[in-house]
Amino acid sequence: MSTRKSFSPTADRTSARHLPITPELAKQFMFATHGSLTALRLAPNRPAFDQLAGTLNLVYVALRHAGGKSETLESGMLALQSVARRNDAGEPFAFIQDELPRIEAALFAAEDHLPSFSIDALERAREHLRKLTRESITPKSVEPA
């Protein structure tokens, strides 16, 4: 008789979700985000904007659920929301005043926080974000339930 345990997709998935974000995973995660930021600098477009906004939102929600706060991240998100509102009103993607530096600072803040999360924390944040629309994200709306 074999002593090998049977495969359980639920048990294996649950244990894997508690793994920390490895440096390599964080590097890959942020590589995509820095690519979006570069695209926004060179030729602003909606897909790059949505990628960057989605990443910052995910890290922000995970941070809030962990009881943390980042004024730099919040400032960058507010700058992204300003750009989105103007674009939704029919204006082309463009950054005014200090928006791009605030967004860049928020990206670096997100990068600093990312290794402190587990895969499970990011998954919970992603599920929470699914319930929200881009227009309704405010600091109060991301508080843990």
For residue range 24-53, list pLDDT tens digits in order. Answer: 888 888 888 898 899 988 988 888 898 899
Provide DSSP, 43-73. S--HHHHHHHHHHHHHHHHHHHHTT---HHH
Compute the distance between CA of residue 124 and CA of residue 66 in angstroms, rounded to an integer: 11
Compute the distance between CA of residue 55 and CA of residue 107 in angstroms, rounded to an integer: 9
The pLDDT value recorded for residue 7 is 44
Of 7-11, 54-58, 60-64, 120-124, the range with the lowest mean pLDDT is: 7-11
73-108, pLDDT tens digit by residue?
A: 999 999 999 999 999 999 988 888 899 999 999 999
Please tell me the pTM assigned to this model.
Answer: 0.75
The pLDDT value recorded for residue 20 is 81
